[in-house]
Amino acid sequence: MANQLLYRPGNPIPTLRLLISTCILSRNSAFPSRHEKLHFSSAIPIIRSMKAVKSCSGDPIRASKSYSRQCYCANSVVVSEDETYGNKQIISVTSQLYDYILANVREPEILKKLREETATMRGSQMQVSPDQAQLLAMLVQILGAKRCIEVGVYTGYSSLAVALVLPESGRLVACERDAKSLEIAKKYYEQAGVSHKVDVRHALAADTLKSLIKNGEACSYDFAFVDAEKKMYHEYFELLLQLVRVGGVIVVDNVLWHGKVADPLVNDPKTVSIRNFNRSIMEDNRVSVSMVPIGDGMTICRKR
Ligand SMILES: C[S@@+](CC[C@H](N)C(=O)[O-])C[C@H]1O[C@@H](n2cnc3c(N)ncnc32)[C@H](O)[C@@H]1O
């Protein structure tokens, strides 16, 4: 898409600038947008062409300088403009670096198969990335989690990653409203031999969570992952906070929203909603938090 436009004969500089800003947004999210497909490898030529328009020094990029923003994608290090952080260099993932990260993910064969089948489907950009799934699975293992909840299953990539590492007696309540994608998820739970660990709930997630509370399951879950309707994040979080035990973890996906949350000029309803959610979590003393720039950004919350 973006690269096709770029290579149109006689492509003028203004178009190039537009494409570059799209690329910058994706780069800020440290992973190709899960909602607007832009392939990193195809983005590289965009940056090279851009450098011909305005060349960059080899120095680390100063994050807030507008001239350096244009070189953002070409460099893998960002330095904060705020001197109270010293010259701390922060990794900004380039396509080359991201390929390296992916090459260092241990993705089980069954997850790879599901990912590849999902890749042919509409909405495939919604599934979490292999490095995200690996982190979720590791959190479940570190916690020694037995009881988990996922809000937003789609075709099952993240839920399967979690189910695979749950003990035989473990249980994952998998909340999804779309029957068609659930069929694929169930097929893979079956193939992976984890169906007995997954309690699929085909319903609106908030209704399922409320029913679990009503069923006396408050404070009995170890781990939850939220990856569904963004404007519902507050509600999911409040319900999950009731369901998770003290010391339990809630992970929330898409908290960086392709970098839009950090741009005061972007104020569409979804961005504002996620920005507000991030602010409220930051101020919420019921949890410890860590916002991690992986995928489209995930916040890890531990219930106090
Ligand atoms: C981003 S996708 C989830 C991706 C999944 N975690 C993965 O890694 O493959 C979001 C999913 O949430 C589902 N969803 C959205 N709103 C929902 C709701 N209110 N209740 C249940 N599921 C919902 C959508 O149908 C979609 O499949």
> Does 264 reside within a domain?
yes
72 assigned to some structural domain: no
Flag whether 14 is in a domain: no
Is 36 a member of any domain?
A: no
Average pLDDT over residues 27-52: 34
Q: Report the candidate in 201, 196, 197, 156 with the shortest Cα–Cα distance to residue 174.
A: 201
Q: Are strands 244-253 and 287-292 parallel, antiparallel or unpaired?
A: unpaired
Alpha carbons 120 and 102: distance in angstroms, whole number: 20
Give the closest residue (by CA) to ligand 1 atom 19: 204
Distance 178 CA to ligand 1 centre (A): 8
Task: Look up tokens 């947008």; give the residue.
Answer: 33
CB proximity list for 141: less than 8 A, separation 6 or greater = 165
Domain extent, residue 221, equals 107-303
Ramachandran assignment for 86, one of left (phi > 0), alpha (psi -120 to 50 degrees), beta (any other): left
Give residue 266's pLDDT band: very low, low, confident or very high (50, 70, 90): very high
Decide if pLDDT at 302 tops 80. yes
pLDDT score for 262: 97
Which atom of ligand 1 is least distant from the CA of 132? 8
Tally of structural domains, the chain: 1
The answer to whether position 99 is within a domain reads: no
22-28: average pLDDT? 39
Q: Which atom of ligand 1 is nearest to the CA of 133?
A: 8
Kindly state if the Cβ of 128 falls inside 6 Å of ligand 1. Answer: yes
Q: Residue 191: inside a domain, yes or no?
A: yes
For the chain, how big is the Rg over CA atoms in Å?
20
Give per-residue pLDDT as tens, 166-179. Answer: 999 999 999 999 99
Mean pLDDT for all residues in the chain: 82
Residue 83, domain member (yes or no): no
196, 186 contact by CB (below 8 A): no
Pairing of the two strands 244-253 and 298-303: antiparallel
The CATH number covering residue 221 comes to 3.40.50.150
Domain assignment of residue 37, yes or no: no
Supply the pLDDT for residue 80: 87
pLDDT tens readout for residues 155-212: 999 999 999 999 999 999 999 999 999 999 999 999 999 999 999 999 999 999 999 9
Q: Is the shortest distance between the CB of 176 and ligand 1 below 6 Å?
A: yes
